[in-house]
């Protein structure tokens, strides 16, 4: 751990009945109130949203993708344009993933070696190599405020022997990632791997804490395992991480996943679910999911969610949103994305308030009760 962390974390409150935490993460480009959800801006844009609209829905930090920005338009060009913040006109914190998940999802187009990963671009088939050193160099060129170490996202299911080999390699890559860092004002998070094996998760967590990072993430979740298994891994691993540093669960997930992960002590999240589902006409509400494409909403004058005060719910009817979706209008994706991101970010705000007031246990029970009663609309 460097002497003065560029990601100072204040633990403000804890819940007495669960492991839920209320915190405040200080970065060089602003403060993040946790628990927090990070909208995914893979290619330097959160699809369908202007930067000022992201601020309006309450976004504090966004996530960008190392792999995609490396291939197009190229990290050197982004650096020449003044960095990713200036390039995309977002002045808040940006977290960049390492590119590992995208590379490893390429299947036959990549080969894993000790040095790194050789792969073919999904765009034009050109050959590339991504290593811990090059991943960090790319992230620093982009100007990330929080960088992730280079690792392998282990698939599920996976043979235990493979999980052990992969996890050990990811730890060695974490050492190299830290050594490659040149920008001391940018934070770096380690990523705990270990598949669904308790002892390997423990080993990974303990070794990463020994190496020392500014925060820690759980990787390799939401890759096809059942929710209960995901929660079990969180219960094994989160208590092993330093309580005075942020804990990030990567790629998770549904509103139910977020509530349960917060209950187990997680602070930060990202997922494409609110934006991707929005483009497919699936909206998140206080009473469950709503498929706006259904014919029952053709003449419905009500808002998507009567309990939501976002711009979309205050101004537009379900009938109009259904019409936009059925007509394949661009505005459909914009409005649906606006609502879904607002819902996710307000869900985090409500959890922060519940932890502060000592009512998180009640909030959690009521949240699940409403979904059990209503289901999908």
Catalytic residue flag (residue 305):
no
Distance CA 317, CA 323 (A): 10
Question: If we measure between CA atoms, which residue out of 344, 325, 322 comes closest to residue 333?
Answer: 325
In degrees rounded to 5, what are phi and psi of residue 325?
Answer: -65, -45
If one counts every other C-beta atom within 10 angstroms of the C-beta of residue 340, the result is 26
Distance CA 375, CA 377 (A): 7
Helix (H) or strand (E) holding 186: none
Distance CA 205, CA 196 (A): 13
Question: If we measure between CA atoms, which residue out of 138, 156, 41 comes closest to residue 98?
Answer: 138
Name the active-site residue from 15, 97, 145, 214: 97
Residue 377 CB partners (closer than 8 Å, separation 6+): 285, 287, 288, 289, 290, 291
Question: If we measure between CA atoms, which residue out of 256, 147, 234, 154 comes closest to residue 195?
Answer: 154
If one counts every other C-beta atom within 10 angstroms of the C-beta of residue 161, the result is 8
Distance CA 38, CA 41 (A): 9
Q: How far apart are the first and last CA of the chain?
A: 48
Distance CA 40, CA 17 (A): 31
Distance CA 110, CA 103 (A): 7
Catalytic residue flag (residue 183):
no
Distance CA 214, CA 8 (A): 8
Distance CA 96, CA 151 (A): 13
Name the active-site residue from 214, 267, 270, 305: 270
Helix (H) or strand (E) holding 37: strand 36-38
Distance CA 42, CA 44 (A): 6
Q: Which residues are designated catalytic? A: 97, 270
């Amino acid at each position: 751990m460097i002497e003065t962390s560029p990601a100072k974390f204040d633990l403000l409150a804890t819940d007495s009945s669960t492991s839920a935490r209320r915190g405040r993460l200080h970065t060089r480009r602003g403060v993040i109130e946790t628990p927090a959800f990070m909208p995914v801006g893979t290619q330097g844009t959160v699809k369908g949203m202007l930067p000022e609209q992201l601020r309006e829905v309450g976004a504090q930090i966004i996530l960008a993708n190392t792999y995609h920005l490396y291939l197009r338009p190229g990290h050197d060009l982004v650096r020449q344009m003044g960095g990713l913040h200036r390039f995309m006109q977002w002045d808040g914190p940006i977290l960049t993933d390492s590119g590992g998940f995208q590379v490893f999802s390429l299947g036959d187009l990549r080969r894993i070696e000790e040095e790194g990963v050789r792969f073919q671009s999904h765009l034009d088939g050109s050959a590339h190599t991504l290593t811990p050193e090059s991943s960090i160099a790319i992230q620093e060129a982009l100007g990330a405020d929080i960088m992730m170490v280079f690792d392998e996202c282990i698939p599920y299911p996976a043979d235990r022997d493979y999980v052990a080999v992969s996890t050990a390699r990811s730890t060695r890559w974490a050492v190299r990632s830290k050594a490659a860092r040149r920008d001391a004002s940018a934070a770096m998070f380690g990523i705990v791997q270990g598949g669904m094996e308790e002892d390997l998760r423990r080993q990974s967590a303990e070794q990463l804490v020994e190496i020392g990072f500014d925060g820690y993430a759980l990787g390799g979740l939401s890759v096809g395992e059942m929710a209960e298994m995901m929660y079990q891994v969180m219960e094994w691993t989160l208590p092993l991480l330093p309580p005075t540093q942020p804990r990030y669960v990567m790629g998770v997930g549904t509103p139910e996943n977020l509530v349960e992960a917060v209950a187990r002590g997680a602070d930060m999240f990202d997922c494409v679910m609110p934006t991707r589902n929005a483009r497919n006409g699936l909206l998140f509400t206080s009473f469950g999911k709503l498929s706006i494409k259904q014919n029952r909403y053709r003449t419905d004058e009500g808002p998507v969610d009567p309990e939501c005060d976002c711009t979309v719910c205050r101004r537009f009817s379900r009938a109009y949103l259904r019409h936009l979706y059925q007509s394949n209008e661009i505005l459909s994706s914009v409005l649906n994305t606006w609502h879904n991101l607002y819902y996710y970010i307000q869900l985090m705000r409500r959890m922060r308030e519940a932890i502060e007031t000592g009512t998180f246990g009640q909030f959690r029970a009521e949240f699940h009760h409403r979904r059990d009663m209503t289901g999908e609309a």
